[in-house]
Every structure is written in structure tokens, then in C-alpha cells.
């Protein structure tokens, strides 16, 4: 829906839809039907989406010392996409970044499994973890525990599961409802 189209003269706005946005607020090529658009929701989604994603990354990395971890991080990231879906609709085919949920799930599981087997190559046991500490100028001392990678796998997998949920229960049912209405 382009700008010119929606502002064409002669089109009388109903009072229920006077506040529907006419611009593309979301990065996706697809926007909801005009009746369903809410400017506040779209603005909030636009602003919050990256912020929530960053927060989810913080949770992922902070897990070792503070509250958080791959599981909560993944859920938060997933909920960023939930918000994005609620505001913008359909996630499956037209998102700017095409994330295939099954691929994410698979990648997550692969990373987690692979990481658990890596210690074998160095003569350790499955799932053994190692701690590396090194100093980076400006940032100071940084500690990396190899189990962080397991957490990253969990993060990706949970994100994939949430996206799968959006794809199936979200978009699929939405399409069904739309089909019923059209009939």
C-alpha cells in the first residue's frame, strides 16, 4: 500500500480508521490490511524490536553471572518477533530477513550437539567445559566459558521454536480466518 494510493482525494475516511497509518513503519514489504493497522503498535514495534533483540543478547551473555541464559534470551528474542508479528502480520514469506524456523531449530541443535562433542577431540569427556580468560584493551578482562556456545545453541533453537509457532499458529491461522471471511 503506497502513500499516493492511501491519500488519494475523494476517499472518505471512516471514523474508525482515521488513525490508521499510511506509511510503512515496519521494514517488511508486507503490511496488514488497513483496518487492522494501529499506528501506536507499529511505532512501538519499530522502536522496541531492535532493543528487545539487544536485550535478548544481553541475557544470553549475562547468564553466567546474572539472571538470564540461552533459554530466557531465546524466549525474549522470540517475543520481539511476536511483537513484530502482532504489529505487522505475516512472518513467513516477506520479512526482510528470511529466517526459516526449522533451519534455526536445526542449527541450534547442531551447535549444541557439536559443542558437546568437541572436548572429545582434545581428550576430554562429552560436555566438558573450559574457561578462557584474556585481556582486551579498552574492555578489560574478558572471560569466555565454552559452555556459552551450548547456550547459543539453546538460544537459536528456542528462537526457532517461537518463530515456528508464529508461522503455524500465527500466519497459518490468520490465513485461514481471512479465507473464511472471503467466503
Partner 1 sequence: MLALVVSHLLVALALPWVAARNTRAAFTVAALPPAAALVWTLGHAGAVLGGQEIVESLAWAPRLGLEITFRLDPLALLMTVLVSGIGVLVLLYCPGYFGPGSADGRRSAPLLLAFAGVMLGLVLADDLLLVYVFWELTTICSFLLVGQSGISREQRRSAMQALVVTIFGGLVMLLGFVVLGEAAGTYRISELVADPPGGGAMAAAAVLILIGAFTKSAQLPFHNWLPAAMVAPTPVSAYLHAASMVKAGVFLVARLTPVFAGVVAWPVLTAVFGLLTMIVAGWRALHEYDLKILLAYGTVSQLGFVMVLVGAGTHTGAVAGTAMLLAHGLFKSALFLVVGIVDHEAGSRDIRELSGLGRRLPWLVVIAVPAAASMAGLPPTLGFLGKEAAFEVFLHGGAGQAAIAAGLVLGSVFTVGYSARLLWGAFANKPGIPATAAHAPGAGLLLPAAVPALAGVVLGVVYPAVDELSAAYAAVFEAGTDPYHLALWHGLNLALLCSLIALAGGLVVHAARTPITRVRGRLVNPLNAQRAYERSMALLERVAVGVTGRVQAGSLPTYLGIILLTVLAVSGTALLTRSTPIEQFRAWDRILQVPLAIAILIAVAGVVRARRRLTAVLLVGVIGYGIGGIFIIDGAPDLALTQFLVETLTLVAFVFVLRRLPVRFTQSDPAPGLRWVKMLIAVGGGVFMAFASMIFSSARQTPSGVSEQYIARAEQGAGATNVVNAIIVDFRAFDTIGEISVLAVAATGVASLILTSRHERRRRRGSLPITERSAADESAAPGNAGAAGPIRPGTGEDPQGRDPRQEEVRE
Sites of contact with partner 1 (CB under 8 A): 63-72, 75-76, 78-79, 82, 90, 92-93, 101-102, 105-106, 108-109, 112-113, 116, 126-127, 129, 131, 143, 145, 147-148, 150-151, 153-154, 157-158, 160-162, 164-165, 167-180, 182-183
E strand residue ranges, the chain:
131-136, 140-145
Distance CA 59, CA 34 (A): 36
Residues 127, 118: Cα–Cα separation, whole Å: 8
| Residue 17 near residue 36 (C-beta atoms within 8 A) | no
> Taking the complex as a whole, how short is the minimal distance between the CB of residue 110 and partner 1, in angstroms?
10
Question: Interior CA angle at 111 toward 84 and 151, to 5°?
Answer: 65
CB of 140 to partner 1, least distance (A): 17
CB 116 within 8 A of CB 127: yes
Name the residue with cell 471512516: 14
Closest CB to partner 1 among residues 15, 31: 31
> What are the grid coordinates assigned to 88, written together?
505487522
CB of 128 to partner 1, least distance (A): 9
By C-beta, is 78 or 88 nearer to partner 1? 78
Closest to partner 1 by CB, 14 or 35? 35
Minimum CB distance to partner 1, residue 14 (Å)? 23
Nearer to partner 1, 20 or 147 (CB): 147
Nearer of residues 14 and 136 to partner 1, judged by Cβ: 136
Kindly state the smallest distance separating residue 171's Cβ from partner 1, in Å.
7
User: What is the per-residue burial (b if ≥16 Cβ within 10 Å, else e) of 150-165?
Assistant: bbbbbbbbbbbbbbbe
CA-to-CA distance for 3 and 21, rounded, in angstroms?
Answer: 10
Amino acid at each position: 500500500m503506497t502513500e499516493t494510493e492511501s491519500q488519494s482525494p475523494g476517499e472518505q475516511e471512516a471514523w474508525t480508521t482515521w488513525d490508521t497509518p499510511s506509511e510503512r513503519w515496519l521494514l517488511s514489504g508486507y503490511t496488514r490490511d488497513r483496518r487492522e493497522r494501529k499506528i501506536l503498535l507499529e511505532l512501538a514495534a519499530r522502536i522496541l524490536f531492535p532493543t528487545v533483540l539487544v536485550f535478548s543478547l544481553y541475557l544470553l551473555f549475562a547468564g553466567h553471572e546474572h539472571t538470564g541464559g540461552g533459554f530466557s534470551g531465546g524466549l525474549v528474542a522470540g517475543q520481539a518477533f511476536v511483537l513484530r508479528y502482532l504489529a505487522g502480520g505475516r512472518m513467513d514469506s516477506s520479512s526482510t530477513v528470511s529466517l526459516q524456523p526449522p533451519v534455526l531449530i536445526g542449527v541450534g541443535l547442531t551447535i549444541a550437539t557439536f559443542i558437546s562433542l568437541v572436548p572429545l577431540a582434545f581428550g576430554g569427556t562429552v560436555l566438558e567445559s573450559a574457561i578462557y580468560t584474556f585481556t582486551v584493551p579498552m574492555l578489560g578482562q574478558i572471560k569466555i566459558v565454552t559452555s556459552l556456545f551450548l547456550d547459543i545453541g539453546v538460544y537459536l533453537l528456542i528462537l526457532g521454536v517461537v518463530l515456528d509457532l508464529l508461522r503455524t499458529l500465527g500466519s497459518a491461522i490468520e490465513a485461514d480466518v481471512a479465507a473464511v471471511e472471503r467466503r
